[in-house]
Amino acid sequence: MSAAPTPSCHESGAVATAGPDAAVVALAGTPNVGKSSLFNTVTGARRTVGNWPGTTVEVGRGAWDLGGDPARRVTLVDLPGAYSLDAMSPDEEVTRGVVLAQGEEAPSAVVVVTSAAHLARGLYLVAQLRERTIPVVVALTMLDVAQRRGLDTDAAVLADELGCPVVALDPRRRRGGGQLAAAVQAALVRGPLEPRHTPPTSESEPAGDELALADERFSWIARAVERAQRHAGGARRTFSDRVDRWATAPVVGPLLFLAVMWAVFQVTTVVAAPLQDALDSFFAGPVADGADRLLAWVGLGESPVRGFVVDGLIAGVGMLLTFVPLMALMFLLLAVLEDSGYMARAAVVTDRLMGRLGLPGRAFLPLVVGFGCNVPAIAATRILSQARHRLLTALLVPFTSCTARLTVYVLLATTFFPEHAGSVVFAMYLLSIVLVVLVGLLLRGVLWRALGAEPLVLDLPPYQRPTARLSLAVTWLRLKGFLRTASGIIVATVVIVWFLQSVPAPGAAGTFGAVPVEDSVYAAIARSIAPVLAPAGFGEWQTVSALIVGFIAKEAVISSWAQTYALAEPSSEREPGVLGQQLLETFTASSGGHAGVAVLAFMVFLLAYTPCVATLAAQRREIGLRWTAAGVAMQLAVAYVLAVAVFQVGRLLW
């Protein structure tokens, strides 16, 4: 026997080999089990590193002193990570080549490093090696990680089951190296092992028998793991398992998910309401008054600049900022749910529901993302492997209710349904899910009759106590993202809306900046479309103009309303919270006295029609212009039909 083939380059350390006549011991194991740490510990990090001949795979070699006697020095070969001797990668090919080498090239023993935290996975290689006569020693690492998971491993019992020595060690703390050296020395002295089982050779093995062979090996592995590893306290069912019996149950799971989401919106709207009112008073009062006085002092009190700054920027941006406590609270609650591990259960529940309806199972991920923002959700459809699944999901994402739409729901729900605001907002989210499912089924039936659902298997992480640091960091990150996007969009739309509101409509009296808003180009454009929306109960130009602005971005709907009503009313008469009253008057006028039903129809329209131009840009990138245009037509049609239905049926009942 001799040393393994000489690596080509890179010598590090002083003495790296044990000499040409020394025995060769191969160090094998699955990736990331602490193999290199063990190699460095026992060889003192003196190694040569080079590419295995004919490959680009790196192999380390070092001298390992097994017992203070130079005669007991062996050459340890640090092989690349390999799960099995049935090579599927260049790394595994090298491991297989070294371990199964015959004649002079053959190693004298193999040390298999195995993690106690993933014992079964690491034992497959041992199962294969134990079908041969080569001496094997198992080095058991990561016992601390296994213990934290409640797994106690008995190395002696494992050794009995595997029929080879097992040494528990901790290479990161340099413990157990001496015992391992002694075990390897003993194995070298003892010589070949009795094989545990003789499998058919891989060359003669029919393809259909590979499963039988795997069954035999895993049966042996399962028995060894069952006997050598115990769950601490004997409790195999963890707290997470007990909770998951209900949280992922077919009927209780979805009901629990809906209850949790309802509680989130209820807490959000109730707790944030006083803070929102206080901020509203602050922007409508001291901030607007201060800006008024400042502009009057510099001589711009009656100029168009005043309209832009006070009625545009302060009214629009101020209105957005009143939603900061609400958004922060909702992001915080969702972050806590994610950090606790519950959201992974929600994914299982959602997936099961979608799977039953015949939708692509994994499409739940982009759809869940869509409830935050539709733009990254469209990009996330790339996780779907089939083009038709990506197309269908990208067409459904706009029906998921993003956080920008939430601000409008909250304003309208707290104004028109103050006693049930949380429930109304929750109902909008429920409707959003229903729309996704119904439109999904419709498209599936129309576009493809045989759209198979793909199964999803999740390894659910254990429940854990949410950490304040992580939850707050996630909340801040999302809030910052929302504010950055929203503020940019709002400033841009405020400028456009201000400009259109400052220009007199053809035939109207007045000059630029000195025209009543109802006589502006802005109102004229909205009035030309308003009759179309009259059957839905919101055919007033103030409402229609907000929907036009909302086509650009939903974040700007409220700011455009604030701008419109601020211009319509002298600042001296403005009071905090008055926007709601003005909206009430508008909806009452457009609905013939059925303001509540008209608001519900408006909210449904807002939910279903095109989310924003950024989503359209993302859709165009992912599914092309033709499908994007078809999607817009579908969204407008669904929104219009639903809104008209809600108003026409609602006004008969209410």
Question: Which residues bind to other proteins, rule: CB under 8 A?
Answer: 31-32, 81, 83-84, 86, 88, 118-121, 123-124, 210-211, 214-215, 218-219, 221-223, 225-226, 229, 241, 244, 248, 348, 351-352, 355, 361-362, 365-366, 369, 376, 379-380, 382-383, 385, 454-461
Tell the smallest beta-carbon distance from residue 555 to other proteins (Å): 20
Pairing of strands 229-231, 151-153: antiparallel
3-state secondary structure 436-449: HHHHHHHHHHHHCC
Tell the smallest beta-carbon distance from residue 175 to other proteins (Å): 23
Of 73 and 345, CB closest to other proteins = 345
Is the separation of the CB atoms in 552 and 533 below 8 Å? no
Tell the smallest beta-carbon distance from residue 144 to other proteins (Å): 17
Cα gap 545→523, rounded to integer Å: 7
Of 460 and 474, CB closest to other proteins = 460
Tell the smallest beta-carbon distance from residue 226 to other proteins (Å): 7
Tokens for 41, please give them: 């510990």
Query: Which residue bears the tokens 């545009």?
Result: 312
Tell the smallest beta-carbon distance from residue 196 to other proteins (Å): 16
Of 223 and 293, CB closest to other proteins = 223
Cα gap 84→571, rounded to integer Å: 77
Is the separation of the CB atoms in 319 and 574 below 8 Å? no
Tell the smallest beta-carbon distance from residue 344 to other proteins (Å): 8
Cα gap 151→119, rounded to integer Å: 10
Of 218 and 499, CB closest to other proteins = 218
**Nearest one of 568, 560, 562 to 544, comparing CA atoms:** 560
Cα gap 75→16, rounded to integer Å: 9
**Nearest one of 360, 408, 411, 388 to 577, comparing CA atoms:** 411
Of 244 and 339, CB closest to other proteins = 244
Tell the smallest beta-carbon distance from residue 148 to other proteins (Å): 15
Tell the smallest beta-carbon distance from residue 536 to other proteins (Å): 35
Of 214 and 260, CB closest to other proteins = 214
**Nearest one of 41, 157, 136 to 85, comparing CA atoms:** 136
Tokens for 154, please give them: 């008995």
Of 222 and 442, CB closest to other proteins = 222
Of 166 and 503, CB closest to other proteins = 166
Of 225 and 295, CB closest to other proteins = 225
Dihedral of CA 248/249/253/256: which sign? negative
Tokens for 115, please give them: 């993690």
b/e code 27-62 from CB counts within 10 Å (16+ = b):
bbbbeebbbbbbbbbbbeebbbbbebeeeebbbbbb
Strand 166-168's sheet: what is its strand order?
Answer: 11-12, 47-51, 58-65, 73-78, 24-29, 109-115, 136-141, 166-168
Number of CB atoms found within 10 A of residue 519's CB: 16
> Which residues pair with residue 109 across a beta bridge?
25
Of 73 and 217, CB closest to other proteins = 217
Tell the smallest beta-carbon distance from residue 419 to other proteins (Å): 37
Q: Say which residues have a Cβ less than 8 Å from residue 570's Cβ, sequence separation at least 6.
A: none
Tell the smallest beta-carbon distance from residue 384 to other proteins (Å): 9
**Nearest one of 198, 79, 188 to 135, comparing CA atoms:** 188
- Helix pair angle (421-447, 595-608), 10° resolution: 50
Q: Determine phi and psi for 646, rounding to 5 degrees.
A: -60, -45
Of 228 and 604, CB closest to other proteins = 228
> Helices (DSSP H) in 468-555: which residue ranges?
468-502, 521-533, 541-552
Of 344 and 583, CB closest to other proteins = 344
Tell the smallest beta-carbon distance from residue 481 to other proteins (Å): 12
Tell the smallest beta-carbon distance from residue 364 to other proteins (Å): 10
Tell the smallest beta-carbon distance from residue 636 to other proteins (Å): 27
Tell the smallest beta-carbon distance from residue 512 to other proteins (Å): 42
Of 361 and 513, CB closest to other proteins = 361
Of 118 and 651, CB closest to other proteins = 118
The vertex-481 CA angle with 479 and 486, nearest 5°, equals 95
**Nearest one of 167, 121, 158 to 29, comparing CA atoms:** 121
Cα gap 91→55, rounded to integer Å: 9
